[in-house]
Amino acid sequence: MAGSQSRFEEWPPAFCFPGSTREGGETEVFNMSRKLHEFAVWLEFLVGAGLAIFFHSVLHYQEAAYVIFGIGMLLSLATFLVKEEIGKTKEALLVEYQKAHEIPFELARISDPDCRAKAQELIAGTKRTITLLQHGFIPLDEAEFYLEGARLAEQATGRLKAVDPITAGWLTRGALIKYYQSNLRALDRGVRITRIFILDREHLDDPEVQEALLTQYRDDIDVRVAFGSELPAARDLEEIVCSWDFAVYDERCVTDSCGQSGKSFGKKTSSPDEVAKYLRLFDLIEHNAQAVVVEGDRIVIPTGHCRTKPPEEAAELCEGT
């Protein structure tokens, strides 16, 4: 009906929002309830005292008067304590209720359909973030991801295990360059770095791929190559949550790139259970990876008996064949 307000528009109740039009009425009801409780305490005290006076003065039964007065005092005290506890519990429940229903109540105030749809998208994103946090992962955007990777590389003292796809920008993008420089400083401190690149077999001869592999090989990084067609599909592995793009630092912390833009670009975890999953995944990929050697100015994969040797031994064996 025109001029009338729908039930939905009347929801949520105004008492849940400070400053609402009905807040004053709710406050008055709450104050009246408190006064009734206080009156009950005084009533019990007066009844007990009156009965005690009656038994003492009229019936001259002093023992009963003392007992009645004592019981009346105890009942008054018990009522007072129960009243206080009920008041505290009511206030605490009201606060929890407001916290639990704050977002639904605020959503109910959005009348525009497009705005409401956008709000639902924001809530869905927040739920995904909370799910990650519940599993011990901290979501990172792209800048935070590379900054956190560089920080962890600077703190590494023993071993850095990384799996990376061959992507454009290893030698040109500022964030990747600074991350790689942190890797070089870790090498200077004696940290062992093993990096397994995931690529397609036909891309191995690409000049940009060759430059990225050769640069890292000559910087004493243990470079391996794994072909995506030889690895299990991500959906076949419980450990895979995002992509073949992660690093394990000293077997205590992991950064993983999800390959998406925005706040969901990557994540970080220090959870021992999750780190153990990534270590197992790295071992699986390493088992399918191949060492590389340099022939002239090219990175190649050795064949035959030198294929599975470490890079230094593989180079010596292949040179002698």
Q: Check: pTM over 0.75? Answer yes or no.
A: no
Domain definitions of the chain by residue range? 7-109, 136-288
Note the pLDDT of residue 321: 43
Asked whether the beta carbons of 206 and 239 are under 8 A apart, the reply is: no
Q: How confident is the model at residue 3 (pLDDT cuts 50, 70, 90)?
A: very low
Residue 193 reports pLDDT greater than 90:
yes
User: Residue 229 burial by CB count (10 A; 0-12/13-18/19+): exposed, middle or buried?
Assistant: exposed
Do strands 222-227 and 192-199 pair parallel, antiparallel, or not at all (unpaired)? parallel
Asked whether the beta carbons of 160 and 192 are under 8 A apart, the reply is: yes
Residue 58 reports pLDDT greater than 80:
no
**Residue with more model confidence, 61 or 293:** 293
The token duo for 67 is 């007992």
Closest CA to 48 of 65, 69, 30: 69
For helices 142-155 and 174-188, what crossing angle results, to 10°? 10
| Helical spans, DSSP H, in the chain | 7-10, 23-53, 62-108, 113-134, 142-155, 174-188, 207-218, 272-288, 311-319
Phi, psi of 301 (to 5 degrees): -100, 120
pLDDT averaged over the chain? 75
- SS3 at position 1: coil
Phi, psi of 243 (to 5 degrees): -140, 175
Element (H, E) at 300: strand 298-300
Residue 312 reports pLDDT greater than 70:
no
Place of tokens 């009905």: 22
Return d(Cα 209, Cα 189) in angstroms, integer.
Answer: 27
The dotted CATH code for 136-288 is: 3.30.870.10
Closest CA to 240 of 262, 221, 259, 263: 259
Return d(Cα 106, Cα 232) in angstroms, integer.
Answer: 46
Q: pLDDT tens digits for 233-283?
A: 654 454 445 568 899 999 999 999 876 766 778 899 999 999 999 999 899
Task: Identify the bridge partners of residue 160 per DSSP, sorted by sequence position.
Answer: 193, 249
